[in-house]
Amino acid sequence: MLWPRRMSTPPTVAITGAAGLIGSILSRDLHDEMRLRLFDLRPAAGCELLDLRDLAAVEAAFAGIDSVIHLGALSTEAPFEAILESNIRGTYNVFEAARRRGVRRVVFASSNHVTGMYPRSQRIGPDVPLRPDTYYGVSKAFGESLGRLYAEKWNVSTVCIRIGSMLEKPADKRQLATWLSPRDGVALFRACLRADVGYAIVYGVSANRRAWWDMTAAHALGYRPLDDAEAYAAEVPDDPSEHLGLQGGVYSISDFAGEDQSRR
Ligand code: 15L
C-alpha cells in the first residue's frame, strides 16, 4: 500500500480538472478518506484556480502534495494546437512539477482512445501496440509515455487508466462495452492511488459482459468492479458508430487535420 506508513494523517491528494465530470465524482466520494486539493482552470465551488499551461503555477500548487490525480485536459478531439497546449504541455507540466515537489504517485487519466482504431471483434490488453484514433488519443499516449519516463528515471510512480466511458449510465450500445460506473470508477482510482507499483497501465471499465478490454492488470492492483452495463441493454439507443466496427466509435472519423485553432 502506497500510503506513507509513517503518516498519522491521511495523504494529501491533488486533483487537476476537479470540476469536470470525473473530477466531481471523485471529489465527492474520496474526500472522507484523504485530504483533497481541488484544482481547475475555471472557477468552480471548492476548487482553486490553476492553469496547467503555467509550470511555475503548477509547481507552487503541488507544495505538500503526496499524490496527484491528473484529469485536467481537453476531454475530446480538437485541433492539434489546442491539444498541444492543454493536453501535451499541461501533462508535461504536471509530471515535471510532481518531480520537483517529490510527489510519490501520479494517477494519469489516459483514455481508451489510445487504442481506438482496434476492431471491436478484438479483445485487447494494455500491452498491445498503440493505435490512437485522434490527436486527443495521441496526447494520452504521450502522457502514458511521459509517465513511464518520470517513473523509471525520477521515481514519480505512475498509474495510467485508459478510461472507457465514465458516466452515470451508458448512453448508447457502444457504451455497453465501454461503461465505467461512478462507483467502479471511484474504486479504480482508489486502487490506483494505493497500489504498490512503480508504473502500470490499466483499462478502466466496469464488469461489462460485452467489454473488449483485458482487466487482469487492473485486478492485480486490487480493482474489483461491481457493475455491468448489461443492466441497461434494453433501454439504450443504437450506437451511431456501430457500422465503423472500431472501438473508438465516432472518434475514428472525427477529422481536424490541418485545422488552425484560430479558425474555430
Ligand atoms: C474519452 O476519452 C472521453 O473523454 C469521453 O468524453 C468519452 O467520449 C469516452 O472517451 C468514450 O470513449 O466514450
Q: pLDDT tens, 106-158?
A: 999 999 999 999 999 999 999 999 999 999 999 999 999 999 999 999 999 99
The rounded distance, in Å, linking the Cα atoms of 42 and 86 is 13
pLDDT at 177: 98
Q: Please identify, by atom number, the ligand 1 atom nearest to the C-alpha of residue 21.
A: 6
Q: How far is 57 from 154, CA to CA, in rounded Å?
A: 21
Residue 259 confidence class, pLDDT cut points 50, 70, 90: confident
Distance (Å, whole) CA 126 – CA 142: 15
CA of residue 112 to ligand 1 center, whole Å: 8
Euclidean distance between CA atoms 149 and 222, whole angstroms: 24
CB 12 near ligand 1, within 6 Å: no
The residues, any chain, with a CB within 8 Å of residue 230's CB and separated by 6 or more, are 176, 208, 209, 210
pLDDT in tens, 212-228: 999 999 999 999 999 99
**Residue 232 annotated among the catalytic residues of the structure:** no
Which one of 92, 118, 136, 223 is the catalytic residue?
136
Please give the C-alpha separations between residue 126 and each of 81, 118, 246, 252, in angstroms, as whole numbers: 28, 13, 17, 19
d(CA 176, CA 117): 18
Locate cell 434494453: which residue?
A: 234
C-alpha 11/C-alpha 106 separation (Å) is 13
